[in-house]
Amino acid sequence: MDGTRHGIGDAYVEKGDSPRPFDLQERFVAKYRRVPCRTSEPNGQYSPQISSLPIAGAPAANQTPVTNERDDSHADHRERARVLADTYAERAPTEWFDRLYAEGIDGQSVIPWVDLDPNPNLVDWLDQAALSPSGQRALKVGCGLGDDVEELCERGFEVTAFDISPTAIEWCRERFPNSSATYRVADLFEAPADWHRAFDFVLESYILQVLPPAERAEAIRPIADFVRPGGTLLVITRGRDPDAPEGELPWPLTEETVRQFEAHGLDLVEFEDYVDGENPPVRRFRAAFGRPRGMDGGS
């Protein structure tokens, strides 16, 4: 990649229509021949553990399919995520993620960013990038249900993946029982000390855009801190002009916000501003940063 700004508006159109809308449970069944569900404890409370139910190609009869399609009232499929984010904003701005994943497993809510496929914006970048993944350590920030993680594994990275949601991590382990990745529950704001500048490749996709402004600004430093000297950070997010309305969750970021990683010892290598192939199309920013070799001090 040449470090210039690109416009690749039709980059994904040839791959077919956007994977949304979809039925999450039906696609899970089609791929893995089992339905993810939460188990009930003797006291009637739900456990965050995930079990598998043998099935014959259909969701369990007592579960409502999780779908990204709008219902008859045309309600936005992101509305439940927005309600939860607002509800938790004052006391615990990131705890709503686990609530949404738990509701998704129970068939109560949509997880709007889950496609059960690798992010095409990541795949396209990896196909073009001059990387030598073999033996290199990679970290996925906010791994969700693990599709991007497994893509990195298939390309030869030694991958660590974390999410603040225990439910999401259990689901990853259920989906990919033979994965070479290490899946673990962790808080970005209280990351393990041994992750400090420990990774050759760090992926942040769609995480900053679902954090409120205060938490977003705070999150940039620890993400940058994961990148070792000579390593690369890839950021993929929705984008907007500085004078455009911020809108609702997921909040599009400005180029200035994305470039705040430069304040933490990273150099901007390339910045792409393009419209993807989703339906409807979405403006994206895709930025790659590198930490210069020889930078071993604090950010």
Q: Give 203-247 pLDDT, tens digit per residue.
A: 999 999 988 888 899 999 999 999 999 999 999 999 999 999 988
Of 19, 27, 13, which Cα lies nearest the Cα of 65? 27
Q: What is the mean pLDDT of the chain?
A: 76
For 228, the enclosing helix (H) or strand (E) is: strand 227-238
pLDDT-wise least confident of 14-18, 93-97, 235-239, 250-254:
14-18
Topology, domain 115-290: Rossmann fold (3.40.50)
- Structure letter (DSSP) for residue 295: -
For 153, the enclosing helix (H) or strand (E) is: helix 147-154
More confident residue, 105 or 284: 284
CA-to-CA dists, residue 298 to 21, 22, 222, 264, angstroms: 44, 44, 11, 9
Return the number of other C-beta atoms located less than 10 Å from residue 61's C-beta: 6
Query: Given a cut of 70, is residue 124 above it in pLDDT?
Result: yes
Average pLDDT over residues 256-261: 98
Query: What percentage of the chain carries pLDDT values higher than 90?
Result: 52
Residue ranges of the chain that CATH labels 3.40.50.150: 115-290
Long-range contacts formed by 127-134: CB under 8 A, 24+ apart: 128/1, 129/1, 129/288, 130/1, 131/155, 131/201, 131/232, 133/157, 133/201
Structure tokens that stand for 51 in this block: 């079990």
pTM of the complete model:
0.73
Asked if the bond preceding 42 is cis, omega within 30° of 0, the reply is no
Structure tokens that stand for 61 in this block: 């009869």
Considering Cα of 120, then 161, then 284, then 122, what sign does the dihedral take?
negative
Cα–Cα–Cα angle for 4, 9, 13, rounded to 5 degrees:
135
Round to whole Å and give the CA distance between 249 and 251. 5
Confidence (pLDDT) at 199: 98
CB 197 within 8 A of CB 291: yes
Compute the radius of gyration of the chain from its Cα atoms: 19
pLDDT tens figures, 59-115: 333 333 333 333 333 346 677 766 656 665 565 656 667 777 777 766 666 677 777
Round to whole Å and give the CA distance between 91 and 77. 25
